Structure 1
């Protein structure tokens, strides 16, 4: 017999409310399961949550079943009711376990939804089986109810996973909304299943069962369920708060442990009895010993680490830190197990709990590299970066201390200022890299020279050095130091595959004779050094008051020299160069003269060096070149002279890249044929042979001739004569002066003449003053003469009269042949 079913809509609503409440409880309890760290706590929360949620879902279905009233009274089979209840709990456990993971993968999500949906469907239909009626299910609605159970499970797991850790009021609203959606889905599954069911009385047998007052039972179950869920949610909230505090303590503890374990400073924990209770890995690495070496050891376990000379100080620091329970600091060093020392900055920090000291933290920071850096900075502040010698600042400090000691002990000392002659030329020619290499070699020479002497060497800057010399008597000690330095410095230097020759100029000032302050002593020694330079360099000189007067005169001379060109105070004199056999002029040498408005005629030896040091030799040299070419062109036009004019080039001019352009411009301006310009160069070009060779080659291609002045007085190699386009060698006057009385000078002159002729070069001797000198030169094949024997340097108009009165006046057109 078919039974007609009617619904109690109040119970239907109540069942839906239970579904929503159960869903909300599920969302809340999943957070408790996933938050539980300990395995035991996790199992307890999982079982409690499954019991509560399963009860809620089962209650919803049970109340929903009781909401159905059939046309005939029915009874219920208790075994199936129990089975459905157990299935609901099992399904809830599956759901909680599925979402209590760190990451919910799609596979786990789908499999969990499948198991949970199956469980809910099984719970529903096993509950329906408890009714003592014949139930026939419509396949479509049955399948739809199962699909709704699966879909509801998928949505329920997604909500439960994403909202499990949310605790704000916004998250409560999200959970509530999720609970409504999940509850509606679960209720929808239930009532879809009820639609699928068709009830019929079993006509074959009477089945004993439990009769129920459906409405009263439904309200009782619902009320019990609400109470249980309310208690559970309240417990969950309380547990959450307690758990939050536990979690905060747990995280705080983890933070502390992480800080302690990962801190770069070494930390040692000592209790109030002075026993080591803990050390961190940084301290273990710092000492090279294991943690077990220190743990449970008395304070002596740390004291033994300190370097022996500092253990007493370290012991007092440790003891007072433990006794006073105050922050105390120490800078010391300990021995690493490998043998090297580690510099430390240490600090004691008391551990205070409720105003009671429970122990001490000793914190050790490795400052080895920091200390090295500070020492390096300190070293660089007082030492020269290139040579590591004391710099100007430290030299000043040492001089000040020497003065203070001398005031109390009468221990006099000397200050030597050393300047390397021709360093600027090396630096300009070869570049700063080779200049630095040269200075390093000089420094080594100075150190070697100072061996066995009580001296301190410093670098004041550039190529200037200072030496503080002690000894008794101090004058003798200073002279001995100066002589050693000069001797060491003048040994050739090998740079860029060439030998370079320099010298040292040394000025000496004595304390207290020449000054009683650092500034005075350095100034006086510097003044003496410049006097050496003015007098030929490569020597030493003690300070005297006369030097200050000379220096002042030099400064005045430099100032006047800068104005000499614009005031037309410079002029050229010309000394004829004579072919003695033919008694005719073969050339003239242009020699610079300066007519000072107050001092009269100033010799070149007094102002050429000043011009070089002041850096104006280039301007003066350009004026000399232009004036000599102009004058020769005028003579050629006026008298038909066909002889060259010789112009001296300084080493600075010769190695100036602008020289070629300057000479070309002067020849264009004066319209002088390049064949009538001869440039006299000195052996200083050997300082940078390759560069000089390139410049001379360009000039030679223009048609200009070259002669090598003062040959034999420098440090050149004969091999250089093949490198340069030199046509004539000039025998220096120093060899000619004593050629009649000194056999060595005579041999040198004979050798130079013979060598030059073999190299197909002409030879001219300068400084010839006597007939005997002339005859010896002629006898050895030198027939080109320059000197007072024939004529002193003459002004332009005087030279014209000289040629007219004394020499063959035929046009000198074959002198270039």
Structure 2
């Protein structure tokens, strides 16, 4: 509004001058006219807002002061001829039912044709009123300065903390907060200073003088002066009475119910906080994702209850590596995550090796000894990404890459790794048509007689070459086949192809040759499985001893059903072997009960047999045990001459692995061994 008798330039000079003097105040300009009447010719926006008046036209000052402010204008006027000096008055204005006290600065100028008076209204909260509000608040209230020192507190605060006020005022506020919640409260203070507005914290644990923990709700209130937060009031409401149920909810929200460690929800929250700290300090972080190899098979074989006990035992070992800079979380089932703070590439690699080393010793569940290994994929913050979901996805890609190329190892993510997680559904649709499109094939790996060096048996291994995905590793497509149920159709196709090959060899006079076929748990548990094998033998007129069925330990959960099926197969004359022995249901009782011909030692015991005394001891024990029960032994994963020499020392009958030959197409087998 501009209703002044002053020239525009004089008016502008007045407003700019006094706005600089009183930037935070409500301001008013009053001018005297030729009839000695005083008019309000200017007010700022905060004045309009407080009095809820537009002031579109000039207003008679005496009426406004009497009606709206409850005082006389004359109290603020300087008489003509007086020496003009700025001075302050105090005024209380009732607005509706609330009293507001203002310091009023008054400056007059009589150098113009008519007197001009400038008034500034600054709201006042008296120290007495402030102290009364503090002391009579039933909730504890403490006031802290910008450096975090307690500078004031009310009676309720001294009561809950147990300190005398002079002792409490000397403390930094963080000393009253439990260790686990210091970062949370520090973040609240930082947000209050930054946003200049109240912030709430639903739950925070504080300690009293005796060290007892009290759970409080916290609200911060910034005390602002000249647009700067000078102090912060913290209102602390004791919610300990309600916190027991709240603790239960909190615990369930952030902890894994089976193992008691942090869950993925907790990881997401912790990552936000650690990421903020890492960004401020320029630190690196790492996420490593651990998956237990073959856990599903073991779980199926020993039952869910024992499987849960195994997971608890695994967590107990993993937790030995957890410290202030490395926290463990359970993502789901048999997947675990470590969040490593202030960790570079070398530290992360060393940590991953320590994790893998924890699986060297078997896990004991009741009387069972279970051997299990783990595979790990890792990512680095910020080089692999800064967002939690992106980093976790990349860690999963690295993990899948590891599992495709052999378990019990660790790899960092790199951009060339195939994202199989996105391709799962598409891959399944392609796999459904793989047989009709002639994309499946069988490669054969020879099993070498360690005594004579001769070869008269092979293991049939399935391969899939797809136009979209290329050569897909069995570790990728077999789980998809099992989960989708396609494993039954694919398993029948493999059995049929192997029987056709055996028939062809028999026609050519290669009578004493045997092929071993892997049988999935779902195949073996089919009601008519034994009859299906019988039909293949009759259809192709095979010597039953030329067909070996490799059964996994996880297929043998039901003793009665397993015994019935195995006895039917033995009556036909089929050879029965136990695949991956020692990685599943390692109970010795079934070896005595079931009609088993061959035990195959899992490659995890062979891989480092020449340098790990425990692996060597386990392998030798399995061989001696099998021989004492009248069974033969085949060692898998033989890759070195040292492996062969150790196995020969204990009379292991056969071995297979890259030391002798990779799995090769049937054409190569015929050319290498039957020509």
Trace 1:636-655 onto structure 2 (pairs within 5 A). Answer: 638=507, 642-643=511-512, 645-649=514-518, 653-654=520-521
Aligned to 1:563, what secondary structure does the other structure show? coil
In the alignment, the residues of structure 1 paired with residue 608 and residue 359 of structure 2 have an alpha-carbon distance, to the nearest angstrom, of: 30
Contact 1:419/1:464 (CA < 8 Å) preserved in 2?
A: yes
**Residue in 2 that maps onto 1:484:** 354
After superposition, give the CA deviation of every residue in 1:53-88 in whole Å (9 maximum; x if it has no partner): xxxxxxxxxxxxxxxxxxxxxxxxxxxxxxxxxxxx
Q: Is the 8 A contact 1:682 1:710 kept in 2?
A: no
1:619 shift after superposition:
3.9
2:300 is aligned, of 412, 422, 428, to 428
1:698-749 deviation per Cα after TM superposition (whole angstroms, max 9, x unaligned): 5334542223567799996887654442324568999999999xxx999999
Matched, 1:668 2:539: no
CA offset digits 1:571-599 (Å, max 9, x no partner): 33567779999999866654434454578
CA distance in 1, matches of 2:213, 2:624: 73
Rounded to whole Å, the distance in 1 between the matches of 2:375 and 2:654 is 37
The alpha-carbon deviation at position 624 of structure 1 amounts to 0.9
More deviation, 496-505/709-718: 709-718
In the TM superposition, 1:585-664 aligns within 5 A as 589-597=459-467, 616-633=486-503, 638=507, 642-643=511-512, 645-649=514-518, 653-654=520-521, 658-659=525-526, 661-664=528-531
Gap change, CA 1:631 and 1:384, over 3 Å in 2: same
Distance in 1, matches of 2:161 and 2:659, equals 86
TM-aligned CA deviation for residue 515 of structure 1: 0.8
Partners of 1:344 and 1:368 within 8 A in 2: yes
1:474 maps onto 2:340 in alignment: no
Contact residue 588 and residue 643 of structure 1 kept, 8 A: no
* Residue 500 of structure 1: aligned partner: 370
**Distance of aligned partners of 1:661 and 1:497 in 2 relative to their CA distance in 1, 3 Å threshold:** farther
Report the secondary structure of 1:483's partner residue. helix
Deviation at 1:445, TM superposition (A): 1.9
Q: Which moved more, 1:752-761 or 1:623-632?
A: 752-761
CA distance in 2, matches of 1:737, 1:412: 34
Partner of 2:226: none
The answer for the alignment partner of 1:382 in structure 2 is 254
- Give per-residue Cα distances to partners, 1:80-131, cap 9 Å, x unaligned: xxxxxxxxxxxxxxxxxxxxxxxxxxxxxxxxxxxxxxxxxxxxxxxxxxxx
Tell me how far apart the structure 1 counterparts of residues 480 and 501 of structure 2 sit (CA, whole Å): 26
**What CA distance in whole angstroms lies between the structure 2 residues aligned with 1:507 and 1:454?**
19
Maintained 8 Å contact 1:417/1:526: yes
Tell me the distance in 1 between the aligned counterparts of 2:606 and 2:245: 63
Counterpart CA distance in 2 for 1:405 and 1:495 is 41
Out of 366-375 and 540-549, give the one that drifted further: 366-375
In 1, Cα distance between the equivalents of 2:459 and 2:240?
Answer: 70
**Alignment correspondent of 1:411:** 283
- Give the TM-score taking structure 2 as reference length: 0.52
Does 1:450 pair with 2:317? no
Structure 1 or 2: larger helix share?
Answer: 1
Residues 1:643 and 1:589: Cα distance change in structure 2 (over 3 Å): farther
For the pair shown, the structure with the greater C-alpha radius of gyration is: 1
Instruction: Show the 5 A alignment for 1:162-177.
Output: none
Cα distance between partner residues in 1 of 2:582 and 2:307: 27
Going from structure 1 to structure 2, the CA distance change for 1:381 and 1:544 (only over 3 Å counts) comes to same
1:372 aligns to what? 244
CA gap 1:560/1:310 in 2 versus in 1, 3 angstroms: farther
CA distance in 2, matches of 1:342, 1:792: 66
Q: CA deviation at 1:755?
A: 7.5
Q: Is the 8 A contact 2:518 2:550 kept in 1?
A: yes
| Distance verdict in 2 for CA 1:621–1:397, change over 3 Å | same
Contact 2:364 2:370 in 1 (8 A): yes
Conserved in 1, the CA contact under 8 Å of 2:329 and 2:336? yes
Q: CA deviation at 1:538?
A: 1.8
1:392 corresponds, among 264, 267, 272, to 264
CA RMSD of aligned residues (A): 5.8
Aligned in 2, Cα 1:616/1:597: closer, same or farther, shift over 3 Å?
Answer: same
Alpha-carbon offset, residue 669 of structure 1 = 5.3
Q: Separation in 1 of the partners of 2:555 and 2:454? A: 34
CA contact (8 A) 1:507 1:543 kept: yes
Q: Map of 1:67-146 to 2, 5 A cutoff?
A: none
Say whether residues 1:528 and 2:395 are aligned partners: no
Which residues in structure 2 correspond to 1:231-250 (within 5 Å)? none
- Conserved? CA contact 1:683–1:715, under 8 Å: no
Decide whether the 8 Å contact of 2:370 with 2:586 is kept in 1.
Answer: no
Structure 2 SS opposite 1:545: coil
CA distance in 1, matches of 2:288, 2:668: 50
Instruction: Give 3-state SS (helix, strand or coil) of 2:433's partner.
Output: helix
Per mean C-alpha deviation after superposition, the further-off stretch among 616-625 and 403-412 is 616-625
Instruction: Structure 2: give runs of 5+ residues left out of the alignment.
Output: 1-154, 166-202, 206-211, 218-237
1:612-761 matches, within 5 Å, as 616-633=486-503, 638=507, 642-643=511-512, 645-649=514-518, 653-654=520-521, 658-659=525-526, 661-668=528-535, 671-672=538-539, 675-676=544-545, 678-681=547-550, 694=563, 696-708=566-578, 721-728=591-598, 759-761=629-631
Larger % of strand: which? 2
Aligned twin of 2:175: none
1:606 and 1:587 map into 2 onto residues whose CA distance is: 27
SS at match of 1:632: helix
Measure, in 1, the Cα distance between the counterparts of 2:250 and 2:606: 59
| In 1, Cα distance between equivalents of 2:239 and 2:658 | 78
User: Does residue 440 in structure 1 map to residue 309 in structure 2?
Assistant: no
Instruction: State the shift of 1:533 in Å.
Output: 1.9
Could you tell me how far 1:517 is from its partner in structure 2?
A: 1.3
How many residues are paired up?
A: 453
Does structure 1 retain, via aligned residues, the 8 Å contact 2:525–2:555? no
The yes-or-no answer on 1:509 pairing with 2:379 is yes
Please list the CA deviations of residues 373-402 of structure 1 after superposition, one character each: whole Å capped at 9, or x if unmatched: 122123222322223333222211211122
CA distance in 2, matches of 1:746, 1:310: 65
- Change beyond 3 A, Cα 1:550–1:497: same
Distance 2:247 2:623 in 1: 63
Cα 1:644/1:457, change in 2 over 3 Å: same
Q: Which of 455, 459, 476 in structure 1 is aligned with 2:330?
A: 459
Unaligned runs of 5+ in 1: 1-301, 313-330, 334-339, 346-365, 807-817
Q: Residues 462 and 737 from structure 1, CA distance in 2 versus in 1: closer, same or farther, beyond 3 angstroms?
A: closer
d(CA) in 2 for partners of 1:395 and 1:438? 23
1:379 aligns to what SS in structure 2? helix
Name 1:291's counterpart in structure 2. none
